[in-house]
Amino acid sequence: MHIFDTFKSSINQPLDIIKGHSIVIKREDLIHPIVSGNKFRKLKYILREVIDNNIPQIITFGGAFSNHLAATAKVGNSLGIKTLGIVRGNEWQSKISDSSTLSFCKTEGMHLICISREAYAQKDRSMEVKKILNNYPIYRLIAEGATESLAINGCSEIIEKSDIDFDVICCSVATGSTFAGIIQSSSNIQKIIGFNALKNPSTNDFILSHTNKNNWEINLDYTFGGYAKINPSLISFMNTFYQQYKIPLDPVYTGKMLFAIFDMIKKNKWKYGKNILVIHTGGMQGIVGMNRRLQKKSAQLLSYEKDFF
């Protein structure tokens, strides 16, 4: 069976009513056991293009715990398309097995080349990356975070016609391409709130250049110090959330967003509507890597790893 046929459509699951605010969660994390959530949405039309043009090779970028690399490796393998992952940080080349994500990518046949952070910052403009690309005669380059129209169009399909009745739609934001897709398919009277997972002042400009709507806002108050940074109160919130609702959150994106929504409602700081749809963008594969990090610090772990891996 074609891997695209194994994706399920996501369901809207009522979560709770808190201080009169009804919260429904869209379970994009359940659309596929490995390629969860927005990473599939982003890849869908890019891969269609790759298949239609018989391109044998995909080259893309990511950090050592990247959901995007894991998704690309898995989908590429299933479709018989070769994948190369260019990884941030040359120290990883000698310790691939220390990253559960990179080990997974390797198992899925992805070739991994780890480069210096300096070269990584410049991507295909750096000499180091240019040299690597020169070895491949035909390939499709996918930017980190897949910041292109095909990816945004794929993400616009997260929102369905029946979601029109929600006052507010919440989504976690890194590059903003998922958020841009959601804005694209939202109605003008809905408010779309993005929760930044990184301190990235350029996200606003990216969104502005990819949408002509103004029904959105990005919240920067719950980044927890930056990308993939965590603290004990976030971990304990995520564990309590799982105990109560049986929904696993990921530590980089959706955990922070739900912490933010609960916190703002409880502190009477939620100034948007009361009929709330929250997008669970997935990212489950990051849990193992985060627990290894927490273990090294002898900190509290995410309790639900064993239920999923």
Ligand X SMILES: *Cc1c(COP(=O)(O)O)cnc(C)c1O
Binding residues for ligand X, rule: CB under 6 A, are 37-39, 67, 145, 172-179, 250, 253-254, 281-283
Nearer to ligand X, 249 or 265 (CB): 249
We find the least distance from the C-beta atom of residue 293 to ligand X, in angstroms, to be 17
Give me the least distance between CB of 59 and ligand X, in Å please. 18
H/E/C letters for each residue in 118-161? HHHHHHHHCHHHHHHHCCCCCCEEECCCCCCHHHHHHHHCCCCH
Gap between the Cα atoms of 177 and 280, Å rounded: 15
Q: Which of 114/170 has CB closer to ligand X?
A: 170
| Dihedral over alpha carbons 215, 276, 155, 129 (to 10 degrees) | 90
What's the CA gap between 150 and 45, in Å, rounded? 6
Extract the tokens encoding 70.
């894991």
Whether the CB-CB separation of 269 and 252 falls below 8 Å is answered with no
Q: Cβ–Cβ contacts within 10 Å for residue 8, how many?
A: 10
Least separation in angstroms between residue 94's CB and ligand X is 26
CB of 20 to ligand X, least distance (A): 28
What is the token pair recorded at 98?
A: 């220390």
Q: How far is the CB of 146 from ligand X (least distance, A)?
A: 7
Please identify, using beta-carbon distances, which residue of 175 and 291 lies nearer to ligand X. 175
CA angle 165, 190, 193 (to 5 degrees): 120
Give the single-character DSSP code of 94. G
What's the rounded Cα separation, in Å, for the pair 250 and 287? Answer: 6
User: Least distance to ligand X from the beta carbon of 231, Å?
Assistant: 19
Nearest-angstrom CA–CA distance, 37 and 32? 8
Q: Which is nearer to ligand X, 153 or 175 (CB)?
A: 175
d(CA 45, CA 252): 25
Helix or strand run (H / E) with residue 241:
helix 232-245
Shortest distance in whole angstroms from residue 256 CB to ligand X? 10
Compare residues 83 and 175 and give the one whose CB is closer to ligand X: 175
**Is the Cβ of residue 33 or residue 56 nearer to ligand X in the bound state?**
33
Residue 93 or 208 having the CB closest to ligand X:
208
| Nearest residue (CB) to ligand X, 83 versus 281 | 281
CB of 22 to ligand X, least distance (A): 23
User: CA-CA distances (angstroms) from residue 215 to 168, 183, 206?
Assistant: 10, 8, 15
DSSP 258-272: HHHHHHHHHTT---S
